[in-house]
Amino acid sequence: MRAEPSVIDRLPDGREEGRKRPSGTMKAALPPRPGLGARLLGWLSPRPRRATVPASGTEAAGPDGRESTRSMAARLIADDRYSFVLLADASGRVTEPDALAAWKVLGSQMAMVPAGNVPVIRCDGSLDVVDLGGFFMDRFAVTNRQYLRFVQAKGYDDLEIWPREVWPSVARLTDRTGRAGPRDWEHGKFPAGRGEHPVVGVCWHEAVAYARWVGKRLPTAAEWQKACGWPEHLGGGTCNRYPWGNVFEPARANVSASGSGHTAPVGDFASGATPNGIYQMTGNVWEWLDDPLETIPCLPGESFQPWKPMRRILGGAFDTYLPGESACQFITGQGELDRRDNIGFRCVLPLDQLRPLP
């Protein structure tokens, strides 16, 4: 079984609809508008600039009147959208210095999880062995400061990165003051002093939209369990329950037993990181996964059937009381539109989508 394709491959095509034609013109089918990913790749290529005087602080045009490819690549990297610079399809349009700069940022923000098999606990409690390709996973949950860039870039207004069926709900995804953004923000800003805390109060669809905006996607349950449990072939191929092993140690994670009672900065609890340096896969906040939650095992021969669309969450949070609930094999979920103060997310990037490693 293979992991699902990157969200880069699943972006809507952005087809234009309902455009009025001048009276008397011939009816003709409108060509499809390139999706967000395709247009970003096009923007990486040099192109003519408009015949206007550049505003102060903008990138200057080159001698041929074309915008510098490096300027666009630098802007993408600065917005944590470096994955677009590293796409294999963009290799011919990106300079080597820009690619190296993007790899440097990726290395600081993401960790590689090698290809291999992983035993996955399915929603019905059964065990399945999944063969995964290599992928990168965010070292830290997405922070308030990172999510602010998405909000300021009008990500809530870009319907291309939101599934059509959720369009009527996007207008209700607001902060306390009615501005687009996470539930506990005000006036489009996160709470003071919490820039490096994980963003919370976002539903599954908001997490998906952000992931698409940065050129990544949410992890699957198989990817999560491989990154968190770190199964080693020479050790028998079984997953650990926690990033550090099979015995729960409250000092390694921000859970109820730790006593904080609230979220912590994403770089805290370093002793609880995975062997390759992924932080807080246990504790701090639950994290959205790509997988739907279709059933939950209960007593033998019984199962719980969700009454509304739900997605799996994993990892436990600052208010998780039972240690077993923060293990990487625990089965639970939340409604796709639910916005909780203990659920955040992180993203992954499949290795086969990228240019060769430097």
Confidence (pLDDT) at 306: 67
Query: What is the pLDDT confidence band of residue 300, given thresholds at 50, 70 and 90?
Result: low
How many structural domains are present in the chain? 1
Radius of gyration of the chain (CA): 22
Token pair of 171 as six digits: 């207008």
> What secondary structure letter does DSSP report for 2?
-
> What secondary structure letter does DSSP report for 190?
P
In a domain, 93, yes or no: no
**Which CATH number is 311's domain given?**
3.90.1580.10
Mean pLDDT estimate for the chain = 82
In a domain, 40, yes or no: no
Is the CB of residue 183 less than 8 Å from the CB of residue 339? yes
In a domain, 242, yes or no: yes
In a domain, 79, yes or no: no
- Residue 181 is part of which domain span? 111-353
Q: DSSP states of 7-41 as a string?
A: GGGG--------PPPPTTPPP-PPPPPP-HHHHHH
In a domain, 246, yes or no: yes
| pLDDT digit string, tens, across residues 226-260 | 999 988 766 667 889 999 999 999 999 999 988 78
In a domain, 7, yes or no: no
List, in sequence order, every beta strand (DSSP E) within 227-336. Answer: 286-292, 296-297, 303-304, 310-314, 333-335
Phi, psi of 312 (to 5 degrees): -70, 145
Query: What is the pLDDT confidence band of residue 136, given thresholds at 50, 70 and 90?
Result: very high
In a domain, 120, yes or no: yes
> Can you tell me the distance from the alpha carbon of 103 to that of 355, in angstroms, rounded to the nearest whole number?
10
Confidence (pLDDT) at 301: 66
In a domain, 287, yes or no: yes
List the single range of 31-40, 46-55, 271-280, 342-351 with lowest mean pLDDT.
46-55
The residue among 69 and 313 whose pLDDT is bigger is: 313
